[in-house]
Amino acid sequence: MSLHNPAIPPHNEAQIQNDWSMQGKIESRGAAIWRRYRKNKLAVIGLIIIVIYVILALAAPLFSDYDPEYFDLMNSDMPPSFQHPFGTDSLGGDVFIRSLFGARISLSVAIIAMLITLVIGVAYGAISGYFGGIVDTIMMRIVDALQSIPSFFLLLIIAASMTPTMWSTILAISLLGWMSMSRIVRSEILSLRQRDYAAAALATGESKPGIIFYHILPNAIAPIIVIATLEVAGNILYEATLSFLGLGIQPPTPSWGNMLSSAQEIVTLTMYPWTAVFPGLFIMVAVLSVNFIGDGLRDALDPKMKDK
C-alpha cells in the first residue's frame, strides 16, 4: 500500500476486503462467454429465431392435419388464408406445412454436412500442420488446386456425379467445405506450435501427436467453432441452390430450395407469388440468424478477433 498513488483516496480496509471477495468469485468460462455473447443483441435474436425454427421443425406434424406430401389438387394455387396461412402451391400442397418440413430437411442437411466437414477439415489440417515440410506443401497445394475450381462448379460436378438424394446432397456440400476448415486448423496449429506451453509439453516428454490433440487443438477451438457456425449458414444456401437447380433434394420431399424451384415459372411467379416468397423468406431468415450467431460467437469466444 506504500506505493499507493496519492491522487486516489485510499480505500478503507473493509472496502478492499469486499473488492477482493468480489474478485474471488471467479466467473466460469462458460459464464464469461455467455456474458459477452449477450451483449450482441443481433446474436441473441438470431439464437432465439433458430431455437424457434428447431421447435417448429420438430413439432411440424402437430401444426396441421395436412401431410407435407399430400397434394389437394382441388385446392391448388390458393392465396394465403386462415386454413392455409401461406397459401397452397400449384399441386395443392400447403406452403406453410411444406416450409416447416422443409426446415427439417434443410437444417439437418446443413448441420450434418458441417459435422462431416469438421471431421475431415480438422484431421486434414492437423496432419498437414503436424508433419510440416514436404507433406504440408503437397497437402496444401492440393487444397489450393481444389479451391481454384470455382466452388459452385465443383459443387455441381460432385452433386451431378451421384443420384440425387438427401445423403448425396450432404456429401456434395461437405466435400466442398472441408478445404477452408483445414486451412484454418493448419494455420492455427502452425502458430500455436510456437507457443511456450507447446515447448513445455515437448520438454516434459509428451509425444508430438499428443501435443497436437491435447494441447494445441483445444486452444484452437474458438476459431473452429466460429467457422463451423458460419459454415452452417453457407450450407443452408448451398442446399437451397442445389435443390433449386434440381440437383439436391427431390420433390415431393419438401426443401426450401425445391419449393422455390417449382415457383420460378413466370406464370406462377406473377399469379401466385406466395409460393416463392415464403420459402425464400424461410431461407433468408435462417441464414441471417445463423450468421448473427456466428458473429456473436466470434466476439464472445475470442474478444481479440473482433473487427477482423
81 binds another protein (CB under 8 A): no
Task: Give CA–CA dist 268/275, Å, rounded.
Answer: 8
With respect to another protein, which residue has the nearer C-beta, 32 or 142? 142
* Omega before 209 within 30 of 0, i.e. cis: no
Segment interacting with another protein (CB under 8 A) among 79-87, 109-117, 160-168, 211-219: 160-168
277 binds another protein (CB under 8 A): yes
Instruction: Please report how close the Cβ of residue 198 comes to another protein at its closest, in angstroms.
Output: 20
Report residue 94: phi and psi, to 5°. -80, 120
Q: What letters, b where the CB count within 10 A reaches 16 and e where it falls short, cover 132-162?
A: eeeebeebbeebeeeeeeebeebbbebbeee
183 binds another protein (CB under 8 A): yes
Which residue among 142, 166, 202, 225 contacts another protein (CB under 8 A)?
142
User: 2: which strand partners?
Assistant: none
Which residue among 162, 199, 200, 221 contacts another protein (CB under 8 A)?
162
Instruction: Please report how close the Cβ of residue 162 comes to another protein at its closest, in angstroms.
Output: 7
Instruction: Please report how close the Cβ of residue 269 comes to another protein at its closest, in angstroms.
Output: 5
CB 186 within 8 A of CB 129: yes
Segment interacting with another protein (CB under 8 A) among 11-19, 77-85, 123-131, 142-150: 142-150
User: 154: which strand partners?
Assistant: none
CB 54 within 8 A of CB 107: yes
263 binds another protein (CB under 8 A): yes
Q: Which residue stretches of 132-210 are H helix?
A: 133-148, 151-160, 166-192, 196-203, 208-210
The residues that touch another protein, with contacts defined as CB under 8 A, are: 42, 141-142, 144-153, 155-158, 160-163, 183, 187, 233, 237, 240-241, 244-247, 257, 260, 263-264, 266, 269-270, 273, 276-277, 280, 283-284, 287-288, 291-292, 295, 307-308
